[in-house]
Amino acid sequence: MALYGFDAFSPAQIAEKVEQVGVSKARLPLLQMLLLGMLAGAFIALGAMYYVLVASDATLGFAASRVLGGVVFSLGLLLVVVAGAELFTGNNLLAMAWADGRISSRELLCNWLLVAAANFAGAAGMALLVWLSGHPAMNGGRVAALVVQLASAKCAAPLAALFWKGVLCNILVCLAVWMALAGRSVTDKFIAIVIPVSAFVAAGFEHSIANMYLIPLALLLRDSVPPELVSPALGVVGMLRNLAVVIAGNLLGGSVLVALVYYLIYRRGTQPPAASP
């Protein structure tokens, strides 16, 4: 793609970039895809860890706690975009390359499945490391208590609410990734990512990869907090229930309401760029 000066890429240019990046992502070597997926899970887990640390401070007001927590949670997606990693929710944008016939249905589904599995391994592995470090004991144990409360609520929430929160979450996440592709510097990407990501966190929407960290960590911590904080729904079955519904919502929000909408606006009927000789 030719450079268009020093300003941001236009939306039409972003759409072309999304397709090109989608083709590259779908055809990554297996080991590279899995390792980058594990990194993304760990990166999002670090953002979630940072969020809980802020949110555990009872002296912050409601809005300040939610917004500041959302800003620090943005660490996860910043690491994914700038340091490089493969994140299932961001990879929902591959639907644009699929709709334009540039990757096959098999390539699309394999990417989503393998990256989601690798994200889980990275996020759950980070949960284990955080637990072993003793970090949840900070703030007089309030960090551990909040992790368990959050995970308990996620496991017990109504399915319809989880689904639509997943939809709304990944609309904002994929728009953050989309806008980050408009930028030419790390500063551009930072600005593009922080506002939409902090919005979804502050609003209490559901991110499947963050849940892959919070719920396993809560399972490790549930015997160390007061029993009244632990919901009967908190368990492996509750985790799988949450993840299945939130993943479905994330898929609809990212692949359909962002990727396919922008495909119809900017890419439908256009010819794919010629391959380089």
Q: Does 1 map to a domain?
A: no
Rounded mean pLDDT, 70-83: 98
> Helix 236-251 vs helix 142-156: angle between axes, to the nearest 10 degrees?
70
Average pLDDT over residues 16-44: 97
**Is the residue at 88 inside a domain?**
yes
pLDDT value of residue 8: 80
Non-local CB neighbours of 178 within 8 Å, separated by 6+ positions: 14, 18, 93, 258, 262
pLDDT at 274 (0 to 100): 42
- The pLDDT of residue 272 is 52
C-alpha 255/C-alpha 170 separation (Å) is: 9
State residue 7's pLDDT score.
76
pLDDT of residue 184: 87
Q: How do residues 130-148 score in pLDDT, each as one tens digit?
A: 999 999 999 999 999 999 9
Does some domain include residue 47? yes
Residue 218 falls within a domain, yes or no? yes
Residue-averaged pLDDT of the chain? 94
Is residue 76 within 8 A of residue 69, CB to CB? The reply is no
pLDDT in tens, 257-277: 999 999 999 998 776 544 333
**276, part of any domain:** no
Is the pLDDT assigned to residue 5 strictly greater than 60?
Answer: no
| Within a domain: 101 | yes
Residue 6 has pLDDT above 80, yes or no: no
Query: Average of pLDDT values for 12-36?
Result: 97
Q: Residue 200: inside a domain, yes or no?
A: yes
Q: What would the mean pLDDT of 181-207 be, rounded to a whole number?
A: 96
CATH number of the domain within which 258 lies? 1.20.1080.10
pLDDT of residue 216 exceeding 60, the answer is yes
CA of residue 129 relative to chain centroid, distance? 20
Asked whether residue 174 is domain-assigned, the answer is yes
Domains held by the chain: number: 1
Say if residue 202's pLDDT is above 50: yes
Q: In terms of residue numbers, what domain contains 203?
A: 11-267
